[in-house]
Amino acid sequence: MDPTTFADCCGELARLFGAPLERDEVVALIENGRFDALQTLARDPRHAIDLRGALAAARAAGDVDAATSRLNAAFCRLFLGLGPVSTTQPIESAHRGDGRLFQEPAGQMRDLLRAHDLVPAAGFAEPLDHLSVELSLLEQFIRLETSLVDVDEHAATASLHRRLVEWTPSFAEALGEHDGTGFYAALARILVRLLEAGTSDIASAA
């Protein structure tokens, strides 16, 4: 996979795991029957199964209004600490050590952001080791390297990619057990495979 497509997919997954779906996004999923950048992964049969599964889950939730309500209720239950287990939260600290939030991974991400003169968007209240932050930063590193010849983010890219590869399988496994809609569980499986597929390319570039 070329770096731009990989970055595009990271960006879309960061958005999907970062906030509840807007109504117009649900309209696009149900009426268009496709994702944005993620749709390029449909050439891989393994990704295609989960892409179809996620779309089927959206349609199975009812009409647009019903689907928006059900998917967003699932988002809140799974990702905002309202569910039965903490491991469905898209936060690295929940999947390392004793699972308490705001632990070492959050501090490491704070330092990484500071080192690149970056700060979260105004109003962002999640821990800095949130999946959406890590994926967005990985996307940005890749775009910088591919567009600016004098930018060297190889080490930072490889390190961030490696930490995502390490903790996201636990997250995907938890969603497979607890996501009643199947929508986010399918996306998490795609995420894990996408990151694993990019391991050799990023390591060799670094």
DSSP code of 119?
A: -
Rounded Cα gap, residues 20 and 15, in angstroms: 9
Q: What is the pLDDT of residues 49-61, one digit of tens each?
A: 999 999 999 999 9
Q: What is the pLDDT of residues 42-89, one digit of tens each?
A: 999 999 999 999 999 999 999 999 999 999 999 999 999 777 788 999
Answer for the pair 51, 39: CB distance below 8 angstroms, yes or no: yes
Residues ≥6 apart with Cβ < 8 Å to 148 = none
Rounded Cα gap, residues 115 and 110, in angstroms: 9
What is the pLDDT at residue 151?
61
